Amino acid sequence: MIYPPRCLVCGGLVESDFGLCGTCWRDTPFITGLVCDLCGVPLPGTSDLAEHCDECLKTVRPWVRGRAALCYRDNGRKLVLGLKHGDRHDIVPTASLWMARVARPMLTQDMVIVPVPLHFYRLLQRRFNQSAVLAQAMARQTGLSCCPDALIRTTHTASLDGKSREDRFATLSGALAAHPKRAQHLAGKAVLLVDDVMTSGATLSTAAEVCLAAGAREVCVTVLARVAKDA
C-alpha cells in the first residue's frame, strides 16, 4: 500500500514524506542556534563555548550534554501529545530524524541508545512506549545500537496505598532500575538517553544516575521537546 504523504500536524497533503506542510513547518518551534549544552533550551546570542541556561546552572545534571529538537509549545506540543496519547506512530520516523540531527554533535561510536521506560500510569493504559520507539528509530538513523529495556520501572505498588496522587507520582518517578540482564549494555559505555519531553529533568536525572550506577562511562540526553519557561 502506498499512502499519499500527509502533514503530521494538519493532515493536509504534502508533496514528499518530509513530514510537515509549509504552514505547519513555520509554526513548529524547531530549536536552532545557540542552546544550553545540558538541556538543549534555546539561548540568546552566539558563543563558541558550551553555555548553560539558568536552570541548569542551579540544578545538578548527572548527564554531560543534552539536546532537544523542539520547544514544547504550539506544534511541538501537538506532536508530543499526538505521540503520547494518540498512538501516532506516523510521527516517529520524522521526529526521530529531527532528534538524530540535534544529537549529532554528542554522538560517539560506542554509544548505546536507551529509552526512559514508560510511565507507570501510561503502562496501565496500555499505551505504547513512545520513548522506546523514538530510541529504536534514532538507532536506525544513526547506526548506533539501542537497548530498549536497559532501564526498567520498579513498581512498589504496595507502598503506594493511602498516598496522594502527587506522592505516588514522586515515588514512581524515582522507581527506575537497570535491567539485571542488560548490565553488559551499559558497563563502560556512553549512553544516549531518549525521552519524548523534558520538563524539570527529574526523570532523566534518575535514569542517568541509574545508568552511571550500572557502570556507564557517561550519559547524554536527547528529547523531542523541551519545556522552556520563557519560550
Which positions touch Zn ion (CB under 5 A)? 7, 9-10, 12, 21, 24, 36, 38-39, 41, 53, 56
Nearer to Zn ion, 10 or 160 (CB): 10
Q: What distances in angstroms separate CA 44 from CA 165, 181, 183, one per listed residue? A: 38, 44, 40
Whose cell is 540535534? That residue is 102
Q: Which helix (H) or strand (E) holds 212?
A: helix 202-213
Q: What distances in angstroms separate CA 128 from CA 92, 117, 125, 131, 210, one per listed residue? A: 12, 11, 9, 9, 23
Q: How far is the CB of 129 from Zn ion (least distance, A)?
A: 25
**DSSP code of residue 39:** T
Q: What distances in angstroms separate CA 84 from CA 2, 30, 34, 60, 121, one per listed residue? A: 26, 19, 28, 28, 12
Q: How far is the CB of 168 from Zn ion (least distance, A)?
A: 28
| Three cell numbers, residue 83 | 505521540
Q: How far is the CB of 58 from Zn ion (least distance, A)?
A: 10
Q: How far is the CB of 206 from Zn ion (least distance, A)?
A: 17
Nearer to Zn ion, 66 or 148 (CB): 66
The rounded distance, in Å, linking the Cα atoms of 71 and 29 is 5
Is 182 in contact with 147 (CB distance < 8 Å)?
A: yes
Nearer to Zn ion, 39 or 103 (CB): 39
Q: How far is the CB of 193 from Zn ion (least distance, A)?
A: 15
Nearer to Zn ion, 39 or 208 (CB): 39
Nearer to Zn ion, 53 or 137 (CB): 53
